[in-house]
Structure 1
Amino acid sequence: MFRATRPTALSIVLTLGLAACGETATLQVADGTGAAPKLPAPNATTFPTVNIAPAIGWPQGAKPTPAPGLAVAAFAQGLDHPRWLYVLPNGDVLVAESNAPASDQKPSGIKAWVAGRVMKKAGATVPSADRISLLRDADGDGVAELRTVFAKDLHSPFGMALVGDEFYVANADSVWRFPYREGDTSIAGKGVKVTDLPAGINHHWTKNLIASRDGSKLYITVGSNSNVGENGMEMEQGRAAIWELDRASGKKRLFATGLRNPNGLAWEPDTGALWTAVNERDEIGSDLVPDYVTSVQDGGFYGWPYSYYGQHVDVRVKPQQPELVAKALAPDYALGPHTASLGIAFSRGSALPAAYANGLFVGQHGSWNRKPKSGYKVIFVSFKNGKPDGVPADVLTGFLDGDENALGRPVDVRLDARGALLVTDDVGNTVWRVTAAAPGA
């Protein structure tokens, strides 16, 4: 493998010519969505397609564009790279202000250097605030008047869950437990480490978690340490997976594997199935591989790195594991290639119009490696009988301006206590609140 410790002439050329790298999509994004997406032949390139949306933030007074029948306003602004949300039983909203750990080791080489430049241009390299803030709308006007530091001195916090009086946080390297009493605006008690999580070189640092409906288990996402195992499969132990942790005993086991980078987690209200959003692999073209949402089977294997979208073999991975590929499960629903779909929330209990009564909201952070760009919006996937039904519908758009700069980038989605949809925006440093439009608006 070629390695470089500083930019080479070739890497500088690559950086200056990023817009010319790779190839152009031939599929409309819609072709890569649904229960049976159109999958073209792979188009491997020496270097990945790079098509960055430079992060510039929102002009004064600007905001995303809601779908007809919806309205959007800022719930909280001036946050520091807000990523993940959690709504407490009393209606308080927690937001993890977080980014990749500064202490993580970074792989070297031309591709890694280019990727670093991509991240910087996309606004993804700001230091992590390492805190969780509490937002409270005390007067019910849809704006958080109270903001406090709920927890600090964390390590790239992401997922959160409350079970009884125990509040759990998934850091980049571990899960911690803190005491909580209803109405608390900050955590006063000392935390206890529950379990370590794979860390070190974090190709994917975000760790999410969700409690089972009876509160006895936690389910924890851990992304892969590479694109397709190029760092060696010994570096992937315990990764590209969802773990199940028994709260009483502290024991954990692999619940599902072969999920390259699972992020959002949610319980489907009719079937009770666990669903997740997964970011798939890169460098085989702008049209591959679709990111997806899927129900997660206990013991299920979903292909990574040996195959994608079921049993489509990725010939870059050697040696192959045909016995594993033969067991690879196809996901339930494709969301389009390189959309970086992250947060998910089922709509049951929403106060939005009837069109959003039964389905899944998805926050799409947006591509950096596709021509044309994909994602950069919040979508809704309707459900019927516990499964996706129909094509995705836009909920919130306008995150790119006419020059394809990123005014904002949606991350997580969550229903608040009154059924409005909250959306984190880590470029706009805002939590947006989507409601039904006023009559006649």
Structure 2
Amino acid sequence: MGLISTAAVGVAALALLTPGVAAQSAGQCSGVTGRYQPRMGAGYKYSVLATGLRQPRHIAIDSAGNLLVAEGGAQSVRRIVLRDQGDIVCAQSNSQLSGTNTNHGLALSADGKTLFTSNLASVFAHTYDASTGAIGASKQIITGMSNTGTHPTRAITTSRFSPDTILVARGSNGNIDTATTQQSTGRSMIKTFSISKGMQTVHQYSSGGEVLAWGLRNIVGLRENPVDGGIWSVENQMDDLRLNSRDIHNDNPAERLSYHGQLNATTNRYKGLNYGYPSCVPAWDPANVGVSNLVVGSLFKPDGVPNANDCANRMTGRLHFHAHTAPLDIEFNANATQAYIAFHGSWNRNPAQGFRVMRVDFKDGQPVADVSSRTAQIPVMENTGNCPNSCFRPVGLAFDAKGRLYVSSDTSGEIYVIYGAQ
């Protein structure tokens, strides 16, 4: 299917769906039919906003309430003008923002006047007018991030509490990147950079900026808590794990939600901490690891990694998730009592796991659940089809001012809207 029309899109009256879905669907926009019918958690409904997009990845709501979508398949950004129609929101028009360059990353400055994008090698800045969609020439502000192996995406986010700061994550050069035991590689880490300095002289990723956290295999989603300014990341951990020549990869290691402190804090005790990769990985199913005294999240040394005698002294995540579920984004509601996480789903597991949006409850800036919990995730939006081949695979998340949560699905080329997420 091609890109959705740039002409105005109307909306029909709420459609009656099959009995099992009617209670979960909020209705549909005219001419927009989703490929799948998600199963929704208690209190949530959904609608399909757009179809036919080219691998939509990270998304954002601009200061005028429009939806910006990084289309990985088009290496550019699409702007969708939104319009309320009864109980749902629909696309009034959409257009491609010329001159943008991204395969995944997308962020807006604190004042909404600068659009940042990222690709394999670089981060770019563009002046941006949310009311008209006018965009200025591309300005490279960070470069030197190309990998020869895997993990081509560069997650980026900006800070409301430290407006001159942009955070950029760069993943490993392979499943086990032994060189990342040294910070000098500039891989498997999150760095912070000055936006204003980057506009004057391009930052080199490896030698520039400041290390916020390292020993993180592949961070694909970054977000600032909108209430206290705390920085959070979601990480994709190691594949094909073995320990003492025994295959334990189906349920280990855990994916992670990690906390990195507040950028504007006088002293941030989390700044610069090492999270263990590539030498130490977190357990999801401790019983299957075969190492005594492990709990969920405990770090251990698998086969084929650099020597490690200090896993107990490395930082682990604040929460952990099932192996290979591939969390790709995290988004907070307005009062930061809930964090939503998009799990893209597994390829390195049988049967497959993930392919859903889940919620984690927060209080006073931290998850309510204990670090070793296996039940911290609350279902929001799940597949009913055959994954990974015949289902939606969520990537990007963004809230609008009315508390509606937008979700991109790259493999199906769709944008969903979740209602009740506030």
Task: Pick one of 64, 70, 81 that aligns with 1:90.
Answer: 64
Higher alpha-carbon deviation: 138-147 or 392-401: 138-147
Q: Is this contact kept in 1: 2:181–2:215, CA < 8 A? A: no
Task: Sort the Cα spacing of 1:430 and 1:257 in 2 relative to 1 into closer, same or farther, 3 A.
Answer: same
**In structure 2, how many angstroms separate the alpha carbons of the residues matched to 1:360 and 1:225?**
29
Task: Sort the Cα spacing of 1:373 and 1:300 in 2 relative to 1 into closer, same or farther, 3 A.
Answer: same
What residue ranges of structure 1 are gaps of 5+ in the alignment?
1-57, 99-127, 350-356
Q: Is this contact kept in 2: 1:158–1:207, CA < 8 A? A: yes
Task: Pick one of 379, 383, 388 that aligns with 1:394.
Answer: 379
- Cα deviation, residue 372, structure 1: 2.3
Q: Which residue of 1 aligns with 2:78?
A: 133
- The alignment partner of 2:57 has SS state of strand
**In structure 2, how many angstroms separate the alpha carbons of the residues matched to 1:66 and 1:92?**
25
What code does the residue aligned with 1:254 have? Answer: V
**In structure 1, how many angstroms separate the alpha carbons of the residues matched to 2:367 and 2:394?**
22
Task: Pick one of 144, 152, 155 that aligns with 1:208.
Answer: 155
**In structure 1, how many angstroms separate the alpha carbons of the residues matched to 2:277 and 2:116?**
28
Determine whether 1:185 maps to 2:171. no
Q: Which residue of 2 aligns with 1:176?
A: 124
Task: Sort the Cα spacing of 1:89 and 1:344 in 2 relative to 1 into closer, same or farther, 3 A.
Answer: same
- Cα deviation, residue 371, structure 1: 2.0
- The alignment partner of 1:145 has SS state of strand
- The alignment partner of 2:257 has SS state of strand
What residue ranges of structure 2 are gaps of 5+ in the alignment?
1-31, 199-207, 242-248, 261-269, 283-297, 370-375
Task: Pick one of 234, 244, 260 that aligns with 1:277.
Answer: 234
- Cα deviation, residue 157, structure 1: 4.4
Q: Is this contact kept in 2: 1:399–1:406, CA < 8 A? A: no
CA deviation vs aligned residue, 1:66-120 (integer Å, no higher than 9, x gap): 112211111111111111101111111100010xxxxxxxxxxxxxxxxxxxxxx
**In structure 2, how many angstroms separate the alpha carbons of the residues matched to 1:215 and 1:305?**
32
Determine whether 1:81 maps to 2:55. yes
Mapping of 1:357-368 within 5 angstroms? 358-368=337-347
Q: Is this contact kept in 2: 1:264–1:276, CA < 8 A? A: yes
**In structure 1, how many angstroms separate the alpha carbons of the residues matched to 2:33 and 2:62?**
32
Mapping of 1:330-341 within 5 angstroms? 330-341=316-327
- The alignment partner of 1:248 has SS state of helix
Q: Is this contact kept in 2: 1:65–1:72, CA < 8 A? A: no
Mapping of 1:259-274 within 5 angstroms? 259-274=216-231
Q: Which residue of 2 aligns with 1:68?
A: 42
Q: Which residue of 2 aligns with 1:289?
A: 253
What code does the residue aligned with 1:342 have? Answer: L
Q: Is this contact kept in 2: 1:414–1:423, CA < 8 A? A: yes
What code does the residue aligned with 2:362 have? Answer: F
Identity of aligned residues (%): 25
Q: Which residue of 2 aligns with 1:111?
A: none
**In structure 1, how many angstroms separate the alpha carbons of the residues matched to 2:401 and 2:121?**
31
**In structure 2, how many angstroms separate the alpha carbons of the residues matched to 1:198 and 1:281?**
21
Q: CA RMSD in A?
A: 2.5
Determine whether 1:160 maps to 2:107. yes
Task: Pick one of 288, 294, 301 that aligns with 1:313.
Answer: 301
Q: Structure 1 length as normaliser, TM-score?
A: 0.72
Mapping of 1:375-390 within 5 angstroms? 375-390=354-369
CA deviation vs aligned residue, 1:188-246 (integer Å, no higher than 9, x gap): x2111101042141411111111122311111111111111268878981111001101
Q: Which residue of 2 aligns with 1:22?
A: none
- Cα deviation, residue 404, structure 1: 6.4
Q: Which residue of 1 aligns with 2:349?
A: 370
Aligned positions, number:
340
- The alignment partner of 1:138 has SS state of strand
Q: Structure 2 length as normaliser, TM-score?
A: 0.75
Task: Pick one of 406, 415, 420 that aligns with 2:404.
Answer: 420
Q: Which residue of 1 aligns with 2:26?
A: none
- The alignment partner of 2:83 has SS state of coil
